Amino acid sequence: MPKIYLIDVTNRDGVQTAKLGLSKLEKTMINIYLNDMGVFQSEFGFPTTRHEINYLHANLELARTEVIKPLRLGGWIRALRTDVETTYRNVPGLEHINLSISTSNQMIQTKLRKTHQEIIKDMTEAVDCARTCGAVSIGVNAEDASRTDIEYLIAFGLAAGEHGADRLRYCDTLGYDSPFTIYDNCRTLAEKTGLPIELHCHNDLGMAVANSLAGAMGVIDGGQDAYINTTINGIGERAGNADLIAIVLAISKSKHTLKKYPLAGPIKLRLASKIAKFASYAFDVPIPINQPGVGANAFAHSSGIHADGVLKDPENYELYSFEELGRGEPVKVETGREIIAGQYSGISGFGHVMGKLDITFKNREEANEILELVRYANVESHKPLVEDELLFIAKYPDIARKLLTMTPLDSQYVGN
């Protein structure tokens, strides 16, 4: 039976959100949390972008040493041979790649200023090159697919498949689709191209989650596996993307989807609150009060009828329990003296902070080494590090050093 796989794009599309961003350590922590949750793949960065290179290498090292496993790490580039060649000079160990190019008349004519035949030629050359360079899996992205003629999308997908692409990404780049149109288009593409279809939906009209689920249903009814792109808390360009937690809840809790349209593997929903809170802190964007599952009001009841019903039996007014999402534990808030590890910390205060985390050092030299890394991580993120970040640096100092090292215009690398 075909299944639904989750590919989270917080570290690619999410960080492209205007006015926002993540440090390389924060991006790494998100990969670790996604791995722990059971997400299939993270689109973890841009291998043609210089400041990403050390971060990409560091995370691939975490994957090789099975700190990040089984989560797959995939890069995103334009579907151009030159981008593929640059990618594999910069990050030769990259196994998973998505190649993106526009397919709508609007974008082909006004943005790329090429012919439809040239678009397919660029894409197929990029696929051939990626496979030659050692890519294990290749996704081909049809940007603005929802405004693309379906017959051209079929021809585009067939060409991608003939050259060895593993799946076709249907990008509802402007959030233009409805659940009905995306179901029909994605079922047609699955049936006509014989490829698994990846759904990438934006929320400009408020339908990213519904469209992602409907599109996946169409793909599975068309006989192929479906891949849904998500971001944590729905963060993303303009109005955002399909929210990871909402997608999991929709698949696992809605009226008729679970048996016929199952997830490929178990997702640990009990980590939902943790990953949502971390992303909120890292991006400095509050979680909406009414966010499904993780919002402050997701399990709040005020009406007398509702309060009475939920106290008698939670299932009267709750489709799922707060415990399932890792909620319900008391939150500790410091109201007295607080020592924070930051960019100007000294060894005494730092030792106090790490001692509270049960971290001890062999000697003062080791403590100073970790403190220096923490200082630099604080400089990059402009905020105090959370406990998991401090623990990560203490456990993997060599990886942390790579994440914190960026050399502008290093002639060793090429790209953007």
Per residue in 316-369, pLDDT (tens digit) is 989 999 999 999 988 877 777 677 777 777 888 888 888 888 888 888 888 899
Tokens of 242: 């399909």
Task: Detail the DSSP E strand segments found in 26-136.
Answer: 41-45, 72-78, 96-102
For residues 44 and 10, the answer to whether their CB atoms sit within 8 Å is no
Neighbours of 181 (CB within 10 A): 16
Q: Which two tokens stand for residue 201?
A: 């939906």
Distance CA 368, CA 374 (A): 10
CB under 8 Å to 151, separation ≥6 — which residues?
Answer: none
pLDDT digits (tens, 9 = 90+) for 272-295: 999 999 999 999 999 999 999 999
At residue 340, the pLDDT reads 77
User: In the prediction, which pLDDT does 203 show?
Assistant: 98
List residues bridging with 370 in a β-sheet. Answer: none
* Residue 320: burial class (beta carbons within 10 Å; 0-12, 13-18, 19+): middle
Q: 335-341: long-range contacts (C-beta < 8 A, 24 or more apart)?
A: 340/384, 341/371, 341/374, 341/378, 341/384, 341/385, 341/390
Using the structure block, give the residue that is written with the tokens 């999402």. Answer: 325
Cis peptide before 384 (omega within 30 of 0): no
What was the pLDDT predicted at 170? 98
Q: Could you give phi then psi for residue 182, rounded to 5 degrees?
A: -75, -35
Query: Rounded to whole angstroms, how far apart are CA atoms 83 and 89?
Result: 10
Count Cβ atoms below 10 Å from residue 128 Cβ, excluding itself.
15
Please state, in angstroms and rounded to a whole number, the distance separating the CA atoms of residues 325 and 111: 43
| pLDDT at residue 341, as a whole number | 78
CA distance 11 to 4: 21
Beta strands, E only, 10-123: 41-45, 72-78, 96-102
Q: Where in 191-261 does DSSP place strands (E)?
A: 197-201, 226-230
* DSSP tag of 62: H
In whole angstroms, give the CA distance from residue 15 to residue 27: 9
CB 391 within 8 A of CB 16: no
Which backbone phi and psi does 275 adopt, to 5 degrees? -70, -35
Distance CA 285, CA 28 (A): 19
Match 């966010």 to its residue by tokens. 291
**pLDDT value, residue 157:** 98
Instruction: Give the chain's largest Cα–Cα span.
Output: 68
Counting beta carbons within 10 angstroms of the beta carbon of residue 82, is it exposed (0 to 12), middle (13 to 18) or buried (19 or more)? middle
Q: 139, 168 in Cβ contact below 8 A?
A: yes
- Give, in order, the Cα–Cα distances in Å from 135 to each of 55, 87, 88, 92, 180: 19, 11, 9, 9, 35
- pLDDT for position 416: 62
- Region of 144 please: left (phi>0), alpha (psi -120 to 50) or beta: left
**Alpha carbons 252 and 259: distance in angstroms, whole number:** 9
For residues 145 and 173, is the Cβ–Cβ distance under 8 A?
yes
Stretches in the chain below the pLDDT threshold 70: 257-258, 337, 409-416
